[in-house]
Amino acid sequence: MSSPISPGLIRSTLCQFLGSEASGGLVLMAVAIAAIVTANSPLAEGYFHALHVYLGPLSLLHWINDALMALFFLLVGLEIKREMLDGQLSSWSRRILPGAAALGGMVFPALFYILFNWENPAALRGWAIPTATDIAFALGVISLFGPRVPASLKIFLAALAIIDDLGAVVIIALFYTSDLNLLALAGAAAVLAALYGMNRNKILKLWPYLLLGAALWVLVFASGIHATLAGVLLALTIPLKVTPGTPEASHEQSPLHHLEHILYKPVTFVVVPIFGFANAGVSFSGVSTATLTEPFTLGVAAGLLLGKLVGILGIVFILVKLGLADLPAKASWGQMTGVAALCGIGFTMSLFIGLLAFDDPNVQDYVKMGILLGSLLSGLVGAAMLATFKRRL
């Protein structure tokens, strides 16, 4: 007779899973599959109807995409600030290779998308969709290979994805902002100034920042700028340093680290999966060869698969051959190719930009199909390359 599984073992296994690099990507993958299955099952009508039920001033889908995702952008902003000031991107020598690669990985996907859609001016609004990398998915896949992939290459991927996120935030602010409400925008600027003032005056308690952050979200939402950007703006005001001379004074005890620690698991295992489940559902009922060859679909898929690969690998090759940067320690060119391909997994941010770019549900379905196709192929190509090529000794 087999012995029962102890609760302690279950808790230990769950803690190990939640703490692993791969877990966020694996959960997101499972949620995406669940959304697609639901959208193509007898539950489809209820699934799509529930997303458009209004809860107060907004539909459930808008609460998820505009409010809940502000927490995701807050975490992204905290990660960007920490890495820029006290991490892998804290000096120009550390920024040049992932920074230049991230730039190439945004420009070339946009060019591929434009190449497929240049005859349709309305479609060009979606040029930024394939420019984003999903850091959870990409790091999840690369972590499955363990020590086979050198730590330097994982750091390079994380740094590139963080700079990529910063680029996506700038793109959203500049190109996907509707008509501005100047009064609300002035109010948001005043709140942001107050947050900056608290930082300069070394106020280290989190609750005043979060309270003003909620007001900032309301004002940014009313201003016409996408409300999730309030999360990034709030993050930039959260103090990274603690008061010198205090016991155990270090960055690890800073409000920024504390808030990042609080947000990481809820955002990774609740917020992003909810967003993924709400937005990844694509019905295949009307899918045909024509759908898969639609310029929207091909442009997004080619941008993710080919644009990311060409842009990132090409820039890295040029910088290394010119002696301006070194290949990450112990990484082979085959492994670098695999990482460049993995950056074509553009799930979360690509979906987000796609929803901002197009209101037409049919076009959104084409875009989602392109994101799913491009991300799947990028993940398979990247994983195959990492499985085939070994690290340098």
Q: What is the CATH number of the domain that holds 240?
A: 1.20.1530.10
Query: pTM, whole model, 2 decimals?
Result: 0.78
Please report, in angstroms and rounded to a whole number, the separation of the first and last CA atoms in the chain.
49
Vertex 149: Cα angle to 334 and 27 (nearest 5): 110
The label of the residue with tokens 């060019």 reads: 111
Vertex 260: Cα angle to 258 and 262 (nearest 5): 70
- 21 pLDDT band (50/70/90 cuts)? low
Please check whether residue 206 lies inside any domain of the structure. no
State both tokens at 139: 């790091």
323: alpha, beta or left? (left if phi > 0; alpha if psi -120 to 50): left
- Mean pLDDT to the nearest integer, 28-37: 89
Total domains present in the chain: 1
State both tokens at 152: 């330097």
Please check whether residue 141 lies inside any domain of the structure. yes
Instruction: Provide the pLDDT for residue 283.
Output: 80
- 250 pLDDT band (50/70/90 cuts)? low
Indicate whether 16 pLDDT > 70: no
Instruction: Provide the pLDDT for residue 26.
Output: 80
Task: For residue 332, give its domain range.
Answer: 60-177+226-388
Please check whether residue 44 lies inside any domain of the structure. no
Instruction: Provide the pLDDT for residue 280.
Output: 83
Contact 321, 377 (CB under 8 A): no
**203-215, pLDDT tens digit by residue?**
999 999 999 999 9
Please check whether residue 267 lies inside any domain of the structure. yes
The label of the residue with tokens 């409400």 reads: 181
Q: For residue 263, give Cα distances in angstroms to 74, 78, 266, 388.
A: 9, 10, 6, 36
**136-148, pLDDT tens digit by residue?**
778 778 877 878 8
**96-145, pLDDT tens digit by residue?**
999 999 999 999 999 999 999 999 999 999 999 999 888 777 877 887 78
Please check whether residue 48 lies inside any domain of the structure. no
158: alpha, beta or left? (left if phi > 0; alpha if psi -120 to 50): alpha
Above pLDDT 90, what percent of the chain? 50
Please check whether residue 147 lies inside any domain of the structure. yes
Please check whether residue 137 lies inside any domain of the structure. yes
Please check whether residue 36 lies inside any domain of the structure. no
